[in-house]
Structure 1
Amino acid sequence: MMKFKTIQLLILFSLVIFAPDAAAISKPPKFKILVLTERGGGHEGFVAAALNWLHNFAEKQNLEVTVIHQTNEINEVYLSNYKVFLQLNYPPYAWTDEAKAAFEKYIEEGRGGWVGFHHATLLGEFDGYPMWNWFSNFMGGIRFKNYIAERASGIVHVEDRKHPVMKGLPAFFSIPDDEWYTFDKNPRPQVKVLANVDEGSYSPVSTIKMGDHPVIWINQKMKARNVYFLIGHHANLLNSKEFKLMFGNAILWAATEGKP
């Protein structure tokens, strides 16, 4: 009898020791993010640093991240799995026709949110590809014109501090080592600008200017929540607490329902 009780106690003890901790059981993610990245070249440092930050952010926020490096997999069914499409410097060309059509529906019909960086406005004829006119209109009817090739730091001024993407940001802050694209026209008439760069603050000084120079904006004509960041060239950005705060704010805002 004692032997039987001993066995029972051992079984109970093992259940206590090896039973799964309810808190340790992984919860389903709040939402899934699809990240389309541009790897290699001059933007590799930024993309690698941004992905490292993103994975840490996703772990803390209980989000799931899928990273792809080309558009071959993208179609309507594939995109339906993701709440946020993150375009991490991948340019608006070299997309398959099926991927273009699926992305246009995703944005126009509000099937998910979009956060884009830097190279997403490399709009024009590049590497033998024609300009994607829909994407140009999405970004405010613009075409890429020029950029500060040697990079410059600049002071960014927030225009709408009440917008969720700008939550917690100071009225102005410095962004280091960026290329600061210019365009053939100002996107402001077609989009809502959240922040601009003071071109007089460039360090080193540059003659490549637009005048009024928006750098963060949203397109309220689309059903999908969307936000574009002109900045996104150098890994030093991930040392900026303001940039990381905007990055996180943008992802969480883009994933929620409501007008842009």
Structure 2
Amino acid sequence: MKITPAFICLLLLLTINHTTQAQKVTKPKFRVIALAEIGGGHARFDTAAKIWLNKLAIDSNFSVDYITDTKPITKAFLRRYQLFIQLDYPPYPWSDTAQMAFENYIKKGKGGWIGFHHPTLLGVFDGYPMWQWYSQFMGGIEFKNYIPGGASASLTVEDKNHPIMKGLPTSFTTKDEWYIYNQSPRANVHVLASINEDTYDPQKNVKMGDHPVIWTNEHVKARNIYIAMGHFPSLFQDENYTTLVRNAIFWAVKK
């Protein structure tokens, strides 16, 4: 077979077109940065979360990168991502640079945010002062107590029309090491779900009365969701929980 210049040009054009089409298919729809705590009591939850997130990312064509501390966080770093997931990482210790970058990301709506469990560990811990802005972001609360070992409780969906509640029953049972705050965040956030402390199983005396567990702060531009449940890895075997998290991800990135 005689190979002519025209034939070579045709092959090159076909190769370029194939490569371009492949890039269109494989380019992720959006990018996620997940801040995950290593070690400690939440390591098993974070491991289960990563496995679940990685599968969802493959199935839904988005990418997830992980960091284990806040050192990389700057405004330039966060510009690369459309969603910030805080997997059981507390609001300390963050550098001043990381704090300012995160505040800018949330206040200006540079991307979405989902926080699990540990972000409301607000107060003075390990010599670090409470991050006042973060406390206001979470509804003006301060951590006071929790239920060691956890307890099951009946969760009631308060806003059935919110997109993250799509496909969920109006009430279901879930388990966590429930946090208690100095006050309910309700006055400062939009509560999406709460638990009935009288349904604790086993019964516990660690209560705060009005007990929201899923909420969003509508006073900032970023779409944001806080989910109190985030201690036990078995949560990712609960269809209600995985539906909630999946909905939250796509709502937060406006997809």
TM-score computed with the length of structure 2 as normaliser: 0.91
Identify unmatched segments of 5+ residues in structure 2. Answer: 4-10
Match of 2:183, SS state, is coil
Task: Give how far 1:27 is off.
Answer: 2.0
Q: CA RMSD in A?
A: 1.9
The Cα of 1:155 is off from its aligned counterpart by 1.3
1:58 aligned residue? 57
Aligned residue for 2:164?
Answer: 165
Q: 2: distance between equivalents of 1:110 and 1:81?
A: 14
**How far apart, CA to CA, are the structure 2 residues paired with 1:53 and 1:24?**
26
Q: Normalized against structure 1, the TM-score is what?
A: 0.89
Q: What is the alpha-carbon distance in structure 2 between the residues aligned to residue 161 and residue 27 of structure 1?
A: 35
- Counterpart residue number, 2:129: 130
Aligned to 2:236: 238
Instruction: Specify the SS of the correspondent of 2:98.
Output: helix
Shift of 1:212: 1.1
Q: How does 1:31-70 map onto structure 2 within 5 Å? A: 31-70=30-69
Q: 1: CA distance between counterparts of 2:213 and 2:254? A: 23
- Following the alignment from structure 1 to structure 2, what is the Cα–Cα distance between the partners of residues 123 and 152? 21
Following TM superposition, by how much is the alpha carbon of 1:226 offset from its aligned partner in structure 2, in angstroms? 0.4
Match of 1:199 in 2: 197
| Alpha-carbon distance between aligned partners in 2 of 1:203 and 1:106, rounded to the nearest angstrom | 39
- Report the equivalent of 1:80: 79
Give the letter for the 1:241 counterpart. Answer: E
How many Å separate the matches in 2 of 1:102 and 1:23? Answer: 36
Structure 1: runs of 5 or more not aligned: 8-14
Aligned to 1:249: 247
Question: What is the identity, as a one-letter code, of the residue corresponding to 2:98?
Answer: A
Match of residue 12 from structure 1: none
Mark the CA change 1:128 to 1:202 in structure 2 (over 3 Å): closer, same or farther: same
**Which of structures 1 and 2 has the bigger CA Rg?**
1
Instruction: Count residues in correspondence.
Output: 244
The 5-angstrom pairing of residues 136-215 of structure 1 reads 136-176=135-175, 178-215=176-213
Once the two structures are TM-superposed, the CA of residue 43 in structure 1 deviates from its matched residue by 0.6
Q: Helix, strand or coil for the counterpart of 1:53?
A: helix
Q: Distance in 1 between matches of 2:19 and 2:68?
A: 37
Distance 1:21 1:75 in 2: 33
What are the superposed Cα offsets for residues 135-167 of structure 1, whole Å, 9 maximum, x if unpaired? 000000000010001211111110001101111
Runs in 1 of length 4+ with deviation above 4 angstroms?
19-26
1:22 is displaced (CA, Å) by 8.6
Aligned-partner Cα distance in 1 for 2:230–2:212: 14
